Structure 1
Amino acid sequence: MPCQIQRRTSKQEKNYLCRNLHATIVSHTRNTKKFIRNMMENQQKSLDDLANQMTELMSRVLLLNSHFLATNIEEFPTRPVQSHGFDCTDIKDTVGSISRTPSGIYIIHPEGADYPFEVFCEMDYMGGGWTVFQKRIDGTIEFERTWAEYMDGFGDLGSEFWLGLRNIFHIVNQKNTKFSLLVAFESDDENTAYASYEDFYIDDENEQFKIHIGQFTGTAGDAFRGFGTQDNQNEMPFSTFDRDNDGCKSQCNIQANAVDSCSVYQNKTGWWYNQCGLANLNGAYLVTRKSLTSHIRWETWRQNGIPFKIKSVSMNLLRSSPHF
């Protein structure tokens, strides 16, 4: 075959192949687009179905919740909480007679209380059996609180806390019992001391939880009674910044400052104030440029005439009379 005819034939074949390839690519592209479109439509349909199912499920949850709230939950039986004793002394005397009772959180139900509640029991210090109702360590819990908060209690029983005036009242006002109060101190330079009072109790809410303390013994001095009548905090009602029951009628003169409220003057902390006095174990921890400074006050604990800077403190109750 002449070369000219061969070249013409080869060119025609190439054109034919190119046209077929182009047609194939176009067809494949069209089919691919159709497949992707169908897949996306199916995916969207699945998402729409799922959204509808979620909406229906949420509607059923809301309906069930409304039915539950409308139901009197008291109809369901509840298991009563089993307490370990009347107080930590009772726990030590009863449970401790069978096995060693470690320090920790226990449930007590004092006589007269409507319900049991948790307390921290100190079972190692000075023979154990102490019900701890106040503990300060490092200022992680703020004691700048309202009257309602001091009544109900706040904080963490495993760290810093205030047990609550109502709970303290129920513990120390059980029948045929007397309680002693032990205040344990540690200073910034790791000195320790204590103040102990016999016959400790507080009155009820109608009397503003007035404090009563008996005979004092200890190494930290009797700051509750202080050095004079104006310092004596015994038989004083409890005060907070929003419930002022201190001895400052009109105003007190504290270090040349006119003070209307001892609680406000002492960083809105609650205590049994009398013209502010020499004791406030609920004083605030304040941050200075150099360090964290405690304003816990017990000004009869002194060294060379200067009050110790108190780092930590706890207030503990021990039943001193047998339960009848």
Structure 2
Amino acid sequence: MADTCMTSPNDGMIISANAIQKQLKALVVRVAELNDSMHLNRTCDAFGHRNTTDELNPRIEKLYTGCHQLFSDGYVNSDVYRIWIFLGYRFISIFCDMETVGKYSRQRGWMVIQRRKNGEVNFDRGWNDYLHGFGFPSKEYWVGLYNLDALLHQKRIGTVENNLALRIDLTDWDGAHAYTECNSFYINPENDDFRITSIGTCTGTPQIRSPMAYIVGKTFSTFDYHSNTIRSPECLRLQRGGWWFGSCRHSNLNGVYATKEEQMTVDKIYVKHWKKVNSNNTSLRYVTMKLQ
């Protein structure tokens, strides 16, 4: 926009149009900050953990819609940052992984939507908690299905880039690591139970691509809400937490956290074929799901 001027009818001051734009942008940021402060009144959920939108970040005078934008602007440390959500006109707190380079984008800066690292946060929760999110972005957390849908939705409405890539990193207690990265992650909204309709083309560790690809077409479910007719009563009894399940024997990254003495089993955090990655079939220590 050209730096045109206008005259105030009150005092004859010459006001730059660019200056007005900057003032309006600052006002948007301030309104969002006030919205954040209102959320602070509900500090804890039923499990004693703050909602993911309540963990404040250092003041940043810009609206960022992704961690890769933050990285490009010089915020190179992996940390919790506020990401702007057009849908709802608000911020959410997201842990940004600034170290991992995308296989497709060749860029750093990933929005972590799920994180497991020590079992500190209880993931054995019902539908309402998985809708709204729980835990701490700086520690362990689930971003929430509403927030996940909003992050993906703002891509689809053309406000920023096209569909997001999904990357999943897995590390067991022996240190064995595997990952899969898919270039076009897409879910349907709540009226279809957040069904995954696409993950695009995937790369990464061959042994885990198949169980991760199996989630396509599956709806999200929990112990107290499920529309998935494939799940047997035994599956409902064994697998805790919320996930795009399908049958029992493929994956559940939101399952019960296992100790280093345990092997991977279907009733804990589970990925089919992990024994092909590590013959000891050791349980997972670190899990992250992230978007770019």
Amino acid at match of 2:273: T
Match of residue 111, structure 1, among 86, 94, 104? 86
TM-score, with structure 1 as normaliser: 0.62
Match of 1:282 among 243, 246, 254: 254
Letter in 2 for 1:109: W
Kindly provide the CA deviation profile for residues 159-179 of structure 1, in whole angstroms up to 9, marking residues without a partner as x: 110000111111112233211
Name the structure 2 match of 1:314: 288
Provide the rounded CA distance (Å) in 2 between the counterparts of 1:213 and 1:278: 16
Per the TM alignment, residue 234 of structure 1 is displaced from its structure 2 partner at its CA by 0.8
The residue aligned with 1:173 is 153
Aligned 8 A contact 1:132 1:314 in 2? yes
Cα 1:225/1:317, change in 2 over 3 Å = closer
Displacement of 1:197 in angstroms is 1.2
Shift of residue 244, structure 1, vs aligned partner? 1.2
**Partner amino acid for 1:313?**
V
Deviation at 1:89, TM superposition (A): 2.3
1:261: Cα distance to partner?
A: 6.3
Whole-angstrom CA distance in 2 between matches of 1:122 and 1:200: 18
* Counterpart-to-counterpart distance in 2, 1:247 and 1:198: 29
Q: Is the 8 A contact 2:85 2:92 kept in 1?
A: no
Q: Kindly indicate which of the two structures has a greater share of residues assigned to helix.
A: 1
Q: Are the structure 2 counterparts of residues 151 and 167 from structure 1 closer, same or farther at C-alpha, using a change threshold of 3 Å?
A: same
Of structures 1 and 2, the larger Rg is shown by: 1
Q: Does 1:194 align with 2:179?
A: yes
Q: How far apart are the structure 1 equivalents of 2:164 and 2:31?
A: 32
The match for 1:222 among 187, 194, 209 is: 209
Taking structure 1 as reference, are residues 277 and 173 closer, same or farther at Cα in structure 2, changes over 3 Å only?
Answer: farther
Deviations 1:267-314 (A, max 9, x none): x31000112241111110256xx9467621111332476745221110
* Preserved contact between residue 258 and residue 285 of structure 2 (Cα < 8 Å): no
Match of 1:265 among 234, 238, 245: 238
Residue type of the partner of 1:201?
Y
Q: Secondary structure at the match of 2:285?
A: strand
- How do 1:79-94 and structure 2 match up within 5 A? 79-81=31-33, 84-93=63-72
List alignment gaps of at least 5 residues for structure 1.
1-77, 227-231, 253-258, 319-324
Judged with a 3 Å threshold, the aligned counterparts in structure 2 of structure 1 residues 189 and 147 are, in CA distance, closer, same or farther, namely same
Normalized against structure 2, the TM-score is what? 0.68
Distance 1:222 1:307 in 2: 17
Among 195, 212, 217, the residue aligned to 1:210:
195
**In the comparison of the two structures, how many residue pairs are matched?**
220
Counterpart position of 1:23: none
In 2: Cα distance, 1:216 partner to 1:161 partner: 25
Amino acid at match of 2:209: D
1:101 to 76, 99, 110: 76
1: CA distance, partners of 2:278 / 2:135: 35
Distance 1:313 1:167 in 2: 19
What CA distance in whole angstroms lies between the structure 2 residues aligned with 1:242 and 1:141? 19
Extract unaligned runs of 5+ from structure 2. 1-29, 34-60, 102-106
The 1:309/1:80 distance shift into structure 2, 3 A limit, reads closer
Aligned-partner SS, 1:124: strand
